[in-house]
Structure 1
Amino acid sequence: MILTNEKVFLLQTKNTSYMFRKLASGHLEHLHYGNRIFSNKETGVSMLDSIAETIAPKHFNGAGNTIVYSDEHNKILLEQLCLEMSSFGKGDIRDPFVELTYADGSNTVDFLFDKYEIKEGKAALTSLPSSYAESVETSDGKVEQLVVTLKDKGYGSRLELIYSVFPECDVITRSAVLYNDSDKDIKVERILSTAVDFNSSSYKMTSFHGRWADEMGKYESICNGGKVVCEELAAGESGSRSNPFVIVSSVDADDDHGDCYGFNLIYSGNHYESLSSNGYSMSRFVSGIQPTGFTWLLTPGESFETPEAVMTFSSKGMNAMSINMHDFVREHVVRGTWKKKERPILINSWEAAYFNFTQSSLLSLAKEAKKCGIELFVMDDGWFGVRNDDNCSLGDWYENKKKLPGGLKEFSEKLDALGMMFGIWVEPEMVNENSDLYRAHPDWAVTVPGHHHSTCRNQMNLDLTRSEVQDYIIDSMKKIFSSGKISYVKWDMNRTFSDRYSKSLPAERQGEFQHRYYLGLYRIMKELTEAFPEILFEGCSAGGNRFDLGILSYFPQIWGSDDTDAMCRIDIQRGYSYGYPASTVGAHVSACPNHQTLNTVPLETRFEVAAAGCFGYELNLCDMSDADKKAIANQVEFYKKNRELFQFGDYYRLPEDGYIIVSKDKTKAVAFVVQKDARPNNDYKCLKTIGLDDEKIYNMVGRVVPHSIKEFGSLINMFTPVHVKQDGIVHGIIDKFMDINGEEQKATALGAAFNGHGVALNSAFCGTGNNDGTRIMRTGDTRLYVFTQA
């Protein structure tokens, strides 16, 4: 709901209110974003002024060297006000929303209110991906859009602030469009997407940082003064180093308590998020395109759109905030055939074979996967050009006939005959110097003429600012995607940017390179996903190096990390869970010792960790024992029974790195428990749930985990009449014929009991004694518990 009396503007969702007002000077004063302060049923538009006056800070007098805006409006001191939009030059000296340089060299910017318009529904941005609403009507009101127009009349520039309200998931989005209505160029130095001011200091900013194969580490910073920044400065991607999703919260907020604001950006390039606090005990959060390295020459008659920023609020902690964000991403960002469709279980050839494969070896792997119930076979890197390592052939998108004699068509038909879907890996944004493409078009690579070029993984970025390069990628991919029965595409991008330069742009526009690159990429992705709507696309960028809402606007899922170590993945996937739903996160079971860390954890743990995502395997089934393949078949069967729940349920984080996923109708749930540090004589553990219906009765059943007798090592000699040598022949015979199933755990109770107190899990192994009910959870062991309404 959007209400206004033409002075005060109220944006209302199911549980939140956002309010600002127009001052006499024409500035927009931000008043409130948080819990509802307005009732749809009992409060009329006539109350807007009274509410605004009640909650607005009372600033009447400046002190010391605070700047007075003008003689006419001598009570307006911008540094003391919460503002919807800020700039330099008239007294606000905090982090600005916009920085412009006009033709006369002035960078004083003074945007003031001109008009507004309220629209039903949600209009899309024209140059960038943005959220959408399939239906205007929702269960909690209409999706509406407010467009407020500001003008800097002295220079003929116009700024539209665009607010979209999604009532049912408690989300408001913001973006801006800058217009040059003058007859002179305007140089844009900075233009962000959202700004929220708070009338208090000491907020906590939670952001997510890391590196390749170690993404989404959670970091908390309290901002009492100065500035805390989360940014991707120059890599050219949303980034493994700093994800664009951040949380601003009360200092004591945690998963289940406190005021929490979630912010994200529908954008894939360099980004900037900042929380600052000034001497007037005020805080400001801003988010948008990274200003460093960015400029844009806005010529007369042109406009510039900013990426759309996503904002949500909950007073009930980070779990509730996350569910808001998850619902929004699923309903209003992800789109197309696979929006609500269960993702297939796949096997990927990469860690099974790397570059060393033939059609025959891949078919052998596929046949073993089919026996286990796996649905989709993905052929990773190495199938095209003369690609036998990472030194050549990127850009040469034709089949390697030595590996695939009949090409993609024949291979996909053989997989189809097995009853499996077929997927391939591509990296269209890249080129090797040793490639036919580079030899034909060296100018298409991103390099600075006459200067040494820095490479990564022996490859260069293609210049996607150029339409001819975009056309080449579109045409090449269309030929590939239509050459066989292709159901899935893994779209990779394995290096960041070093040189940022386009040979097609003049010197004064080189600061536009990175943004123009993404305009080109989005055009490519849009055309291909519209041409092949049935293909399931998965984004990837050296793992999770480009995990963002811009990619998810075209590809419904993204590979979470190149690190498949289950213990690492617990932390990585937990980090993603704060802002992204499980249905968007690719997660695989891989071999042990793990190829990234050399760590070894049980096969069951690897499965239970990967289950909370778009699930698959990435190992060589042909080399595995019959027992392990039997275990995998069991895992696949279990996942299929619970796939909709894992991918589309409400995800709540539990203490000690656990989680529970609850179906939307609260009739089913699955909880995950992990033992990260097993200690002796410590047998008690309680699983306290979140999100179950207090009034429903649930049956809880623990997943039974099989154990090998060898897992008990020489302890077997406590129970055998003769000595058994560890890993000896007798030990192996006993292990082959003797199965030890893990504990069975069942419970029945009201949701209120599971939520309010929790279920006491079976007593853990303590070093002495063992029976059928003993819970064996070593360091690195996990357990799943399924709750079903009785």
Structure 2
Amino acid sequence: MPDDPWLLRTEHTTYAVALAGDGRWAELTAWGPHGAETGPSPLDWSRRTHFITPADAAPAEYIPYGLRPFTGADLVAQRPGEERGVWWRFTGAAQDGDRTLRLVFADDTLGLTAALHYEAVPGTDVILRWTELTCTGDTALRLERFDSAAVNIPVSGGARLTYLTGQWSQEFRRTQLDLTRGRFEMASTQGVPGHAYAPWLAVQDLASPAEGATPTYGVALEWSGNWHLTTDAEPGGAVRVRAGRVPHEGAVRLAPGATLTTPRLACAFSPDGLDGLARVWHRYERVLTGERMDRPRKVLYNSWEATGFDVDAATQLELAGIAAEMGAELFVVDDGWFPGRDDDTGGLGDWTPEPASFPDGFDHFIGEVRALGMDFGLWVEPEAISPRSALYAAHPEWVYRIDGRPATLVRNQLLLDLGREDVQDFVLATFDRLLGDHDISYLKWDMNRPPTERGRPGGGPVEEQDLDAAHVAGYLRVLDHLRTRHPHVTVEGCAGGGARIEHATLARTDVVWPSDNTAPLDRLAIQYGYLHAHAPHTMSSWVTDSPGVFDPRPRSLGFRFVNSMAGVLGIGADIRTWPPERRAEAAGWIARYKEIRDVVHHGEVRLLNTPADATCGIQYDEPGGARVVVTAWNTGRLDGAPLVPGRPARLRLRGLEPTARYVDTASGVAYSGAHLVHSGLPFAWTERYDAELVVLTEE
């Protein structure tokens, strides 16, 4: 192994890579805080190779089947009709300081080169990894597996895996598994990341505590389609994570001269446990958002839960007037605004306003909303098409289909083949027309069904189509067009709730919708998991009527507002039914949110306890400022210690200056930082007082 590995440095961490195996592969030698690269590699398993090859035991960064036949390869390639396998050699490296690295390997016999790419993202502790595969011979190659990267985790006693699981309406539930030996895999073949698993994983050493000063490693795949993430606790004790695309066709064809670029895998490290790792991801997502971070996320009212498909101008304006009085800044008309949309059986694809719903004209209606002091937005589902629509009558060939096989309706709709350029052009023209002809400043992009009969008759041999990648490319092309052609428009991403939330989407949208479930206690658990992986400024959350349709357990209006204020505040209730005192209370919460949303969206987040605890909360530290914002909830029973006189529940804060003085801006009570960290912030919960927003100012 060379004495001088290649080093990549982030703000606080070092990632060290060296050649090994006589130059046949690259290995990770260190990953951790600055200085971790000095000393023998903690990942060297070179002597533990009984009955396997040295490559199978190596902490290889990326290695093909052929060199690594037993314990899991990252690349499986072959010439059609020949044996699988790649036996490559190192051909060169290029490095730009300690920020980027490119390592190239080639198999001249097969006709393949692989370029391993690394990029340290400035201002973060994230390293991006991806691979470029090029067919250099005169014969096409068949790629059965082509992962983005493999990540070796320096653990000593097995791995504690933390990941996000669920189903529709139960997304982002934090789940943990101890893996001492064997394989754990998460995947989606639904054409989107899916509700069941997020393409995100955190890994800790089982020998360390789960929280506190615990080295914690994380990966997240930037891909909007089919994916897998596989963790192997290998013989000898090594833990290795592989992640990448899953081709719909089972394999893809790489033509002579063509290059396939894999999705990027973001790799993160924190010495401060899962909570610290969450802050690393939050900083990275603020970098992805870029200059759009400077735009406040406006308080939204969405009319779906109030009116459903029954959209007419008079009712919508009644709702808009009430929402404006309460302080909403944005009014969004959801499903039902276009022709044939009296229910979910028609209309999708015919994206023009229904004249009967807006008798004075759509622009007049928008003008009335804007006259109330609010921006205007619309719901769209551009990938969907109804069989009874005019679009389907004109272009039945635009849907995914397999000749001679029946089509499956999901939600009474089919799915457009967005990988087709003509379909992309139709969607682009639709958006340009809507946003060019009307004063619309917000779009909610929904996607409510996965592809089923995923075929494209006449599109050529199956392995040449790569339908999943084509759909993702079309989706991203449309989002990129929205960003460049209509930069003033705020874009919300949604896929039946949280089925398409990953870094490619987050880089191109302003907010996302984590779940269709807004029931207060369910939503608290969903958001708790979400914030482990994603930043508050991306998390749209609504106050809806309680009890909810998913979870009948009642909670106060304050609980629902504080819940939604933990991210980007919205309201989705039928506010026509709210009495004046409830509307006044809502107006007060909205005004308080506007005062602190910059801290919520830009601040350093600390997750305090869990929704399984009787009291939990989120702490937001103002960057470079003096404010600490705490959102807190009571989720447990109201008997026992919290009701004993003088014994309020307490929520211990973290990361405060012990000798500093912090004053509650509402009550005027002062605390030392040591008191807030050691004893905690007190809350005297009652049946009606079950949540609070506290703003502390450092003096």
Q: TM-score, normalised by structure 1?
A: 0.84
Question: Of the candidates 661, 675, 686, which is equivalent to residue 777 of structure 1?
Answer: 686
**Which residues of 2 match residues 529-608 of structure 1 at below 5 A?**
529-608=483-562
Question: Of the candidates 183, 207, 210, which is equivalent to residue 163 of structure 2?
Answer: 207
Report the counterpart of residue 33 of structure 2 in structure 1. 35
**Which residues of 2 match residues 722-761 of structure 1 at below 5 A?**
746-761=668-683
Amino acid at match of 1:298: L
- Alpha-carbon distance between aligned partners in 2 of 1:642 and 1:66, rounded to the nearest angstrom: 58
Matched, 1:80 2:57: yes
Q: Comparing 592-601 with 307-316, which one deviates more in the overlay? A: 592-601
Give how far 1:555 is off. Answer: 0.6
Amino acid at match of 1:111: W
> Is the contact made by 1:255 and 1:653 (CA closer than 8 Å) also made in structure 2?
no
* Runs of 4+ residues deviating >6 angstroms: none
Question: Of the candidates 374, 383, 389, which is equivalent to residue 337 of structure 2?
Answer: 383
Deviation per CA, 1:198-257: give whole Å up to 9, x if none. Answer: 45451011111111111111111111111011221x211111111111111122443434
Deviation per CA, 1:507-548: give whole Å up to 9, x if none. Answer: 332661111111111111111221100000000111111111
> Is the contact made by 2:2 and 2:19 (CA closer than 8 Å) also made in structure 1?
no
- Alpha-carbon distance between aligned partners in 2 of 1:780 and 1:229, rounded to the nearest angstrom: 43
Gaps of 5+ in 1: 39-47, 68-76, 121-141, 703-744, 762-774
**Which residues of 2 match residues 176-215 of structure 1 at below 5 A?**
176-198=131-153, 200-215=156-171
Give the direction of change, closer, same or farther, for the CA distance of 1:448–1:536 in structure 2 (3 Å limit). Answer: same
> Could you say which structure has the larger radius of gyration?
1
Give how far 1:498 is off. Answer: 1.6
Matched, 1:98 2:75: yes
> Is the contact made by 1:352 and 1:618 (CA closer than 8 Å) also made in structure 2?
yes
- Alpha-carbon distance between aligned partners in 2 of 1:477 and 1:504, rounded to the nearest angstrom: 28
Give how far 1:197 is off. Answer: 2.1
Report the counterpart of residue 428 of structure 1 in structure 2. 382
Deviation per CA, 1:147-194: give whole Å up to 9, x if none. Answer: 111111221211111100125321111011101111100111111112
Give the direction of change, closer, same or farther, for the CA distance of 1:573–1:54 in structure 2 (3 Å limit). Answer: closer
Q: Comparing 533-542 with 167-176, which one deviates more in the overlay? A: 167-176
**Which residues of 2 match residues 272-283 of structure 1 at below 5 A?**
272-283=228-239
Give how far 1:599 is off. Answer: 3.7
Give the direction of change, closer, same or farther, for the CA distance of 1:510–1:431 in structure 2 (3 Å limit). Answer: farther
Amino acid at match of 2:60: L
Give how far 1:66 is off. Answer: 2.8
Report the counterpart of residue 172 of structure 1 in structure 2. 127
Deviation per CA, 1:625-648: give whole Å up to 9, x if none. Answer: 001111111111111111111222
- Alpha-carbon distance between aligned partners in 2 of 1:504 and 1:37, rounded to the nearest angstrom: 57
- Alpha-carbon distance between aligned partners in 2 of 1:12 and 1:456, rounded to the nearest angstrom: 47
> Is the contact made by 2:556 and 2:688 (CA closer than 8 Å) also made in structure 1?
no
> Is the contact made by 2:65 and 2:74 (CA closer than 8 Å) also made in structure 1?
no
SS of residue paired to 2:132: strand
**Which residues of 2 match residues 449-460 of structure 1 at below 5 A?**
449-460=403-414
SS of residue paired to 1:364: helix
Deviation per CA, 1:246-290: give whole Å up to 9, x if none. Answer: 111122443434121121111111111111112222111111113
Report the counterpart of residue 416 of structure 1 in structure 2. 370
Deviation per CA, 1:670-721: give whole Å up to 9, x if none. Answer: 212222222424223222101323343210246xxxxxxxxxxxxxxxxxxx
Q: How many residues align?
A: 686
Amino acid at match of 1:34: G
- Alpha-carbon distance between aligned partners in 2 of 1:778 and 1:256, rounded to the nearest angstrom: 33
**Which residues of 2 match residues 226-625 of structure 1 at below 5 A?**
226-232=182-188, 234-251=189-206, 252-290=208-246, 293-331=249-287, 333-335=288-290, 338-509=292-463, 512-625=466-579
- Alpha-carbon distance between aligned partners in 1 of 2:209 and 2:490, rounded to the nearest angstrom: 38
Report the counterpart of residue 15 of structure 1 in structure 2. 12
**Which residues of 2 match residues 638-787 of structure 1 at below 5 A?**
638-655=592-609, 656=613, 657-683=616-642, 684=647, 685-701=649-665, 746-761=668-683, 775-778=684-687, 781-787=690-696
SS of residue paired to 1:363: helix
Give how far 1:349 is off. Answer: 0.5
Give how far 1:779 is off. Answer: 8.5
> Is the contact made by 2:29 and 2:41 (CA closer than 8 Å) also made in structure 1?
no
Q: Comparing 745-754 with 491-500, which one deviates more in the overlay? A: 745-754
- Alpha-carbon distance between aligned partners in 1 of 2:456 and 2:689, rounded to the nearest angstrom: 49
Amino acid at match of 1:749: Y
Amino acid at match of 1:112: R
Amino acid at match of 1:168: G
Identity percentage over the alignment?
26
Give how far 1:52 is off. Answer: 6.5
Give how far 1:379 is off. Answer: 0.5
- Alpha-carbon distance between aligned partners in 2 of 1:218 and 1:185, rounded to the nearest angstrom: 43
Report the counterpart of residue 25 of structure 1 in structure 2. 23
SS of residue paired to 1:221: strand
Give how far 1:746 is off. Answer: 4.7
> Is the contact made by 1:272 and 1:291 (CA closer than 8 Å) also made in structure 2?
no
SS of residue paired to 1:482: helix
